[in-house]
C-alpha cells in the first residue's frame, strides 16, 4: 500500500485538484453566508453537539429503542458486527427475494463496506443513482469528497464520459447533462427490485430514518422498488424527532450553505395497507464495523460527526492534495481521525500527520468536534505504539532525548550555531533525504545562537 505522501505527490498541481479547489472554496463561501444569515447558528451548534454526545453516551439504550420502534411499525432490523456480516445479510436477502436489479442512493457507509462489489460478485446489477456517484461508477473512479463525490471532475470530463458510456452526443452544458442522467436512470428506478440507501439520521423514539439529498433519487430509491434496505452506521442516531430537527438546522447550512436540503425524507416503516406508495419491506442494517471500538477509546468524539463535509472545504491540506490521497472512504480532517480509529492505526498511521493543525476544521464543525486534539492524540498513540512513520519517529525520538536533558540541549544549540556559520546568507537552500521535501519549495533558516546565549554575551559586553 502506498503512503499518503506518495499518493499526494502524484495529485498535487493536477487539473482535478484545481477543479476540487474551486468547488471546496465555493462550498466554504456558501457556508459562511448561510451562517451569517442565521444568528442562532452558534446556539444550534451547541445544542447539536449536546444531542450527539448524549446519544453516544447512551448508544446501547437508543439502539435498542430504535430497533423496537422500527419493528413495531413493520420494519426489520439486523445488527451487523462487521462488513462481512452486513454484506452477507443484503446478499442473502437479495437472493431470497429473487432480486436482479438494485438502485442505490448515495451512501458513504456502503463505500466503506464495499457492498457494491459483494452484490456484483453474486451476479446482481447495481446502479448508483446519485448523479455524482453515477459518474464515479461510470468512470470506475472513487469519490473525492463526502457530499460531492466528483468535486475533482469538470463538466467537460463528464460530457466526454457520458458520450463514451451512455452513447449520447457530447455536451458540457450542466442542465443537459442532468437531463441525460435523468433519462438514463428513470427506467432503472421503475424496474429495480431493491433500493439501497444510507441514513443521515435515525430517530430512536419513532424508529424513523431521515435521508437528506439534493436530488429526487433518494425518494425514488426508497419508494419505487418493492424492497428498501437502509444501511445505518450504529452511531447515526438521535433520541427524538425534535433532536433530528436541530441536526437538520446545522447540517445543510454547514454542507452547502442551504437552509435545508432540497429533499428531506423521513420514513417510518414500510408501506402500510391502503397506502399507494412505498416498499413492501423495509430492512435497516445497523453496522458496527469498528464503531464500538472507537466509542470505547480516546477518539470517540469523532463519532459525533454528521458528515457535512465542512471540515474538508476549509482544510489547506485537503484543498492541496484532494480526497484520493487519503486512500480511504473518508477523506479530509474527519477521515484522518476516523480511518485510523475504525481500522488499523498501523496501516493508517500517516493520516494523523496529514494536517497543519491550523484549527480551521474546529472553527466550522457544526458539532464542534475538536479534530486537532484528536489528531494529536492519535499522533501520540502512534509514537507510544511505535506505529508512526519511521522517518518521523526517529528524529522526534532524538529531539526528545536532547530537549529533555539541559546539558544535551545546550550542546545541540552550540553545535547548531557552529553549523549555522557555514551559511553566510543565514538560509539553507537544500537539505538531504526527507529534509529535501522542505527545501524543495522554500528555504530553511540556518541555526543561530539561542536568545539566551546572545543575551548573556551582550550583557557581558562581548
Please give the model's pTM, rounded to 2 decimal places. Answer: 0.88
In angstroms, the CA 458 to CA 455 distance is 5
pLDDT in tens, 98-149: 999 999 999 999 999 999 999 999 999 999 999 999 999 999 999 999 999 9
In angstroms, the CA 409 to CA 268 distance is 65
pLDDT in tens, 204-213: 999 999 999 9
- Quote the percentage of the chain above a pLDDT of 90: 77
Strand partners, 282: 228
In angstroms, the CA 282 to CA 258 distance is 30
Evaluate whether 226 touches 99 at the Cβ level (below 8 Å).
no
C-alpha cell at 174: 450542466
pLDDT in tens, 317-356: 999 999 999 999 999 999 999 999 999 888 898 999 999 9
pLDDT in tens, 400-446: 888 888 888 888 888 888 888 888 788 888 888 777 877 887 888 88
Q: What pLDDT score was predicted for residue 410?
A: 83
pLDDT band at residue 457, thresholds of 50, 70 and 90?
confident
In angstroms, the CA 410 to CA 36 distance is 51
In angstroms, the CA 1 to CA 382 distance is 18
Rounded to 10 deg, the angle between the 371-384 and 332-342 helix axes is: 40
Greater pLDDT, 383 or 186: 186
Judge whether residue 392 has pLDDT over 80.
no
How much is the mean pLDDT over the chain?
A: 93
Evaluate whether 382 touches 352 at the Cβ level (below 8 Å).
yes
pLDDT band at residue 461, thresholds of 50, 70 and 90?
low
Q: What pLDDT score was predicted for residue 331?
A: 96
Query: Among 5-14, 152-161, 184-193, 435-444, where is mean pLDDT lowest?
Result: 435-444
Evaluate whether 371 touches 333 at the Cβ level (below 8 Å).
yes
Greater pLDDT, 460 or 78: 78
Evaluate whether 44 touches 246 at the Cβ level (below 8 Å).
yes
The mean pLDDT value for 205-227 works out to 95
Evaluate whether 96 touches 303 at the Cβ level (below 8 Å).
no
Greater pLDDT, 366 or 400: 366
The mean pLDDT value for 23-32 works out to 96
Phi, psi angles (nearest 5°) of residue 210: -115, 130
Spell out the long-range contacts of 298-302 with Cβ–Cβ below 8 A and sequence spacing 24 or more: 298/374, 298/377, 298/381, 299/337, 299/338, 299/341, 299/374, 299/377, 299/378, 300/56, 301/53, 301/369, 301/370, 301/374, 302/334, 302/337, 302/338, 302/341, 302/369, 302/371, 302/374
Residues contacting 9, CB < 8 A, separation 6+: none
Rounded to 10 deg, the angle between the 174-191 and 155-166 helix axes is: 40
In angstroms, the CA 270 to CA 228 distance is 8
Judge whether residue 462 has pLDDT over 60.
no
C-alpha cell at 35: 451562517
Evaluate whether 197 touches 253 at the Cβ level (below 8 Å).
no
The mean pLDDT value for 61-76 works out to 98
Query: Among 83-97, 190-204, 260-274, 391-405, where is mean pLDDT lowest?
Result: 391-405
Residue 348 three-state SS: coil
Residue 176 three-state SS: helix
Q: Cα 245 to chain center, whole Å? A: 22
C-alpha cell at 48: 447539536
Amino acid at each position: 500500500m502506498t503512503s499518503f505522501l506518495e499518493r499526494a505527490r502524484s495529485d498535487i498541481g493536477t487539473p482535478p485538484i484545481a477543479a476540487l479547489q474551486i468547488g471546496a472554496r465555493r462550498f466554504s463561501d456558501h457556508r459562511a453566508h448561510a451562517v451569517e444569515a442565521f444568528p442562532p447558528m452558534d446556539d444550534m451548534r451547541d445544542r447539536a453537539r449536546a444531542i450527539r454526545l448524549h446519544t453516544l453516551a447512551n448508544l446501547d439504550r437508543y439502539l435498542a429503542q430504535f430497533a423496537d420502534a422500527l419493528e413495531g411499525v413493520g420494519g426489520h432490523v439486523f445488527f451487523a458486527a462487521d462488513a462481512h456480516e452486513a454484506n452477507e445479510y443484503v446478499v442473502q436477502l437479495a437472493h431470497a427475494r429473487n432480486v436482479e436489479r438494485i438502485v442505490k442512493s448515495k451512501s458513504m457507509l456502503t463505500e466503506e463496506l464495499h457492498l457494491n462489489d459483494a452484490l456484483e460478485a453474486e451476479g446482481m446489477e447495481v446502479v448508483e443513482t446519485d448523479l455524482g456517484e453515477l459518474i464515479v461508477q461510470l468512470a470506475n473512479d472513487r469519490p473525492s469528497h463526502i457530499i460531492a463525490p466528483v468535486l475533482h471532475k469538470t463538466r467537460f470530463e463528464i460530457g466526454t464520459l457520458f458520450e463514451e458510456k451512455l452513447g449520447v452526443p457530447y455536451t458540457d452544458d450542466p442542465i443537459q447533462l442532468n437531463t441525460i442522467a435523468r433519462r438514463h436512470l428513470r427506467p432503472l428506478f421503475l424496474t429495480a427490485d431493491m433500493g439501497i440507501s444510507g441514513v443521515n439520521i435515525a430517530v430512536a423514539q419513532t424508529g424513523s430514518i431521515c435521508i437528506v439529498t439534493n436530488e429526487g433519487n433518494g425518494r425514488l430509491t426508497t419508494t419505487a422498488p418493492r424492497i428498501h434496505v437502509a444501511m445505518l452506521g450504529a452511531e447515526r442516531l438521535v433520541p427524538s424527532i425534535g433532536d433530528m430537527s436541530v441536526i437538520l438546522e446545522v447540517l445543510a447550512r454547514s454542507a452547502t450553505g442551504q437552509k435545508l436540503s432540497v429533499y428531506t425524507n423521513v420514513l417510518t416503516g414500510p408501506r402500510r395497507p391502503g397506502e399507494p406508495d412505498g416498499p413492501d419491506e423495509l430492512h435497516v442494517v445497523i453496522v458496527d464495523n469498528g464503531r464500538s471500538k472507537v466509542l470505547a477509546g480516546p477518539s470517540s468524539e469523532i463519532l459525533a460527526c454528521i458528515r457535512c463535509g465542512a471540515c474538508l472545504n476549509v482544510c489547506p491540506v485537503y484543498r492541496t492534495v484532494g480526497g484520493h490521497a487519503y486512500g480511504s472512504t473518508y477523506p479530509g480532517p474527519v477521515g484522518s481521525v476516523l480511518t485510523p480509529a475504525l481500522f488499523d492505526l498501523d496501516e493508517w498511521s500517516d493520516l494523523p500527520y496529514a494536517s497543519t493543525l491550523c484549527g480551521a476544521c474546529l472553527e466550522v464543525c457544526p458539532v464542534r468536534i475538536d479534530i486537532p486534539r484528536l489528531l494529536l492524540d492519535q499522533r501520540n498513540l502512534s509514537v507510544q505504539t511505535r506505529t508512526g512513520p519511521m522517518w518521523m519517529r526517529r528524529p522526534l525520538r532524538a529531539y526528545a532525548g536532547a530537549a529533555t536533558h539541559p546539558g544535551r540541549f545546550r550542546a545541540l544549540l552550540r553545535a547548531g550555531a557552529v553549523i549555522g556559520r557555514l551559511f553566510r546568507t543565514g538560509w539553507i537552500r537544500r537539505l538531504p533525504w526527507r529534509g529535501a521535501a522542505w527545501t524543495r519549495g522554500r528555504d530553511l533558516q540556518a541555526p543561530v545562537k539561542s536568545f539566551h546565549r546572545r543575551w548573556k554575551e551582550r550583557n557581558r559586553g562581548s
